[in-house]
Amino acid sequence: MSLSYRIGALGPEGTYSEKAALLWIKNRPEAALVYFNDFEGVLEAVQAGRIDAGTVPVENSLEGAVTTVMDLLLRLDVVIVGEVNVPVRHCLVGQGQGDIKVILSHPQALAQCRQYLREHYPEAEIRTTGSTSHAARLAQEFPEMAAVAGADTAEKYGLHILAREIQDASDNVTRFIVAARKMAVATGRDKTSLVIYLDKDRPGALFSILEEFARRSINLTRIESRPSRKGLGDYYFYIDLEGHVDDSTVEQAIAAIKEKAAMIRVLGSYPRA
């Protein structure tokens, strides 16, 4: 690895994306973090070769898929080379002076704390920001504003923790993927992510695809659908499975599916978290 290994994350400093990136590079002292305004910026920089890798969230245990990232993975020429699971412990943070009239955060963070905010701040205006740390930075400026962010983010921006553990369920985990331009080599403990398009909706179409995995005893860990934007009822299917694309059984399953589907694309094979 070069001394200039650069990994992208959603900024500014203090985001959960940054935490995921730091976990990924914890044994790589030569690595440098680069911050972006949104997930699209991270992945476009990977595709263009301006950075070596990027961390973006793909799913949360409370809110499900991060659909923006799923769509980007289909559109851009990048591959998944790793995954990082980050426990998410949201706090309400602010200056601690006066009544809170506005609560800010990333849409995912606000959704994960929906019940708490409704019960404790029913009159507050809820506003979305580009990231949890961006919300914290804004809360620095106005006493009537508070942000949903992590405890360490509050410390970084000189804010008080007004309430801890405000997420709607205690077991709140976000799965981040690490994207790069070159496929990761097999380790023997891998996952593969695919996207499949059936083209025509017919009885048993999806079953016939899933059957190819079942008959080879390939375990599927996730399946999600996303609209193709070609019309109602038309979908792409995102599938995560155990195994590497170079494993013979996975290779055989993909070959069989190519005969049945209009499109199959390997989004990456990578070590399981």
Which one is catalytic: 36, 39, 176, 237?
Answer: 176
What are φ and ψ of residue 184, in 5° steps?
-80, 150
Residue 1 has pLDDT above 60, yes or no: no
Kindly report the CA angle at 57 between 8 and 269, in degrees rounded to 5? 85
CA distance 147 to 15: 12
The CATH 3.30.70.260 domain(s) of the chain lie at 190-271
237 catalytic per annotation? no
The answer to pTM > 0.85 is: yes
Span 6-88+172-180 CATH architecture: 3-Layer(aba) Sandwich (3.40)
- pLDDT per residue as tens digits for the range 223-232: 999 988 887 7
Summary mean pLDDT of the chain? 93
Q: Band the pLDDT of 200: cuts 50, 70, 90.
A: low
Closest Cα partner for 153 from 16, 26, 23? Answer: 16
DSSP state of 54: E
Task: List pLDDT tens digits, range 227-267.
Answer: 888 877 788 999 999 999 999 999 999 999 999 999 999 99
The reply to whether 142 belongs to the active site is no
Strands 91-94 and 145-149, bridge-based pairing: antiparallel
CATH 3.40.190.10 positions along the chain are: 6-88+172-180, 91-163
Residue 61 in contact with residue 171, Cβ under 8 Å?
yes
Report strand pairing: 6-10 vs 32-36: parallel
Tell me the per-residue pLDDT of 114-156, one tens digit each, with 9 for 90 and over.
999 999 999 999 999 999 999 999 999 999 999 999 999 999 9
Give CA 85 to chain center in angstroms: 10
- Quick one: pLDDT band at residue 201, thresholds 50, 70, 90? low
User: Could you tell me if 261 and 196 are in contact, meaning their C-beta atoms sit under 8 angstroms apart?
Assistant: yes
Looking at domain 91-163, its CATH architecture is 3-Layer(aba) Sandwich (3.40)
Please say whether the structural domain 190-271 has been given the CATH code 3.20.20.60. Answer: no
Candidates 174, 192, 213, 237; catalytic one:
174
